[in-house]
């Protein structure tokens, strides 16, 4: 059963909460592209509803990488508890299976204390692994194999590596952008090690939560302006100094964490490859491109996501819809 609301300007069909049963505990999910405003909205929502935030951001897991990943500030964390920030060092690897396990543990811990878990982030893999209950192949990273695949990508090109994946696992290849070399390599790694396509191993077993997903979006011009402003704020807050501190601590450019948005481009500046103004322009350009990749995960036509009206009152909208959903569940 779907619920229909009429706000005077449009009629919107609100997707029913994903759930296994009416008595299952609620999990609220907030998704959307970088710089759309997820952090601020989720903090306000948590403050109103007595919630705690579980981060679903693959870069905010790293300790010492605060400015470039736009983590919640210490003041924001003091106001609302956050989970799965600063999980590992920049030279450590957190697999998707490990993230999923930690996320479920955090959600269940929040629920046992009578609080509302709010899963928030723009990393589509993280969100889907938790919400859909992916059965993730238990294949430990094979560093030598990954190095060989990375070399193949550098020599033959990312498209060639993706083409190989398309031969071995066309379903996985159709879901992965060829430019996302790390994901292509992981899919190939699982296939080569197990002899089975990763798409067949990633079966789904949805968790026992009533899940309500909300999407935050803005007009492209506004989103791009927010990206530019965020990058400028990062530079003012000390992004260059943050990268210098990481280097001084022994974290090298070869680490995946140091190849992330902001860190790679500042690294180019520190190594004398570009001027600082060029590095800043590159960060903005690559962030815009990254937003397009995020949109492949969070589709506008996904029936499980309720997209909040741009320019509206998102906090009030979510609170109202959650109240309606709870009433519907109570009547079930």
Q: Which CATH code fits 143-201?
A: 1.10.20.140
Angle at which helix 181-194 crosses helix 143-156, to 10 degrees, equals: 130
The answer to which of 68-72, 181-185, 191-195, 323-327 has the lowest mean pLDDT is 323-327
Q: What is this structure's pTM?
A: 0.81
Q: How many other CB atoms are found less than 10 A from the CB of residue 138?
A: 10
- What lies within 8 Å, CB to CB, of 181 at 6+ separation is 150, 153, 158, 161
Give residue-wise pLDDT tens across range 215-237. Answer: 998 999 999 999 999 999 999 99
* Most trustworthy range by pLDDT among 152-166, 207-221, 229-243: 229-243
Task: Give every CB contact of residue 3 below 8 A, 6+ residues apart in sequence.
Answer: 13, 14, 16, 324, 325, 328
Which tens digits make up the pLDDT trace of 288-311?
A: 999 988 888 888 778 899 999 888
- Domain 221-292, CATH 3.30.1330.60 — does that match? no
Q: Looking at beta carbons, which pairs linking 305-311 to residues 24 or more positions away fall under 8 Å? A: 305/15, 305/31, 305/213, 305/214, 305/215, 306/12, 306/14, 306/15, 306/212, 306/213, 306/214, 306/215, 307/214, 307/215, 307/217, 308/214, 308/215, 308/216, 308/217, 309/7, 310/217, 310/218, 310/219, 310/222
Residue 106 has pLDDT above 90, yes or no: yes
Task: Tell me which fold the domain 3-135+203-219+300-331 belongs to.
Answer: Rossmann fold (3.40.50)
User: Concatenated DSSP letters for 232-289?
Assistant: HHHHHHTHHHHHHHHHHTT--TTSGGGGSTTHHHHHHHHTTSS-HHHHHHHHHHHHHH
> How do the domains of the chain map onto residue ranges?
3-135+203-219+300-331, 143-201, 221-292
Report the C-alpha gap between 294 and 252 in whole angstroms: 27
The pLDDT assigned to 232 comes to: 98
Question: Tokens 């601590």 correspond to what residue?
Answer: 249
Whether the CB-CB separation of 90 and 258 falls below 8 Å is answered with yes
Residue 233 CA, chain-centre distance (Å), reads 21
> Does position 16 have pLDDT exceeding 70, yes or no?
no
Say how far apart CA 235 and CA 232 lie, in whole Å: 5
């Amino acid at each position: 059963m779907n619920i229909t609301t009429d706000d005077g300007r449009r009629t919107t069909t609100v997707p029913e909460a994903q759930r296994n049963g009416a008595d299952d505990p609620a999990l609220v999910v907030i998704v959307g592209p970088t710089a759309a405003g997820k952090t601020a909205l989720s903090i306000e929502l948590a403050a109103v509803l007595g919630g705690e935030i579980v981060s679903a951001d693959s870069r905010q897991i790293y300790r010492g990488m605060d400015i470039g990943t736009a983590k919640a500030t210490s003041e924001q964390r003091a106001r609302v508890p956050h989970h799965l920030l600063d999980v590992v060092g920049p030279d450590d690897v957190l697999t998707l299976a490990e993230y999923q396990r930690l996320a479920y543990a955090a959600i269940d811990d929040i629920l046992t204390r009578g609080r509302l878990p709010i899963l928030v982030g723009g990393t589509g893999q993280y969100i889907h692994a938790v919400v859909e209950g992916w059965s993730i192949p238990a294949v430990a990273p094979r560093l030598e194999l990954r190095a060989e695949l990375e070399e193949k990508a550098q020599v033959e090109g990312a498209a060639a590596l993706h083409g190989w994946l398309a031969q071995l696992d066309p379903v996985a290849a159709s879901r992965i952008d060829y430019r996302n070399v790390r994901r292509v390599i992981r899919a190939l790694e699982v296939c080569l090690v197990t002899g089975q396509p990763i798409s067949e191993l990633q079966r789904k077993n949805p968790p026992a939560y009533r899940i309500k997903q909300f999407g935050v979006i803005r007009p492209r011009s506004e989103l791009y302006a927010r990206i530019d402003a965020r990058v400028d704020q990062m530079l003012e807050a000390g992004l260059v100094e943050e990268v210098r501190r990481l280097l001084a601590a022994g974290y090298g450019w070869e680490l995946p964490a140091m190849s992330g948005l902001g860190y790679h481009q500042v690294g180019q500046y520190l190594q004398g490859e570009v001027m600082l103004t060029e590095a800043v322009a590159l960060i903005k350009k690559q962030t815009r491109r990254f937003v397009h990749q995020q949109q492949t995960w969070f589709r506008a036509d996904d029936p499980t996501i309720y997209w909040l009206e741009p320019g509206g009152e998102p906090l009030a909208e979510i609170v109202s819809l959650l109240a309606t959903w709870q009433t519907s569940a109570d009547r079930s």
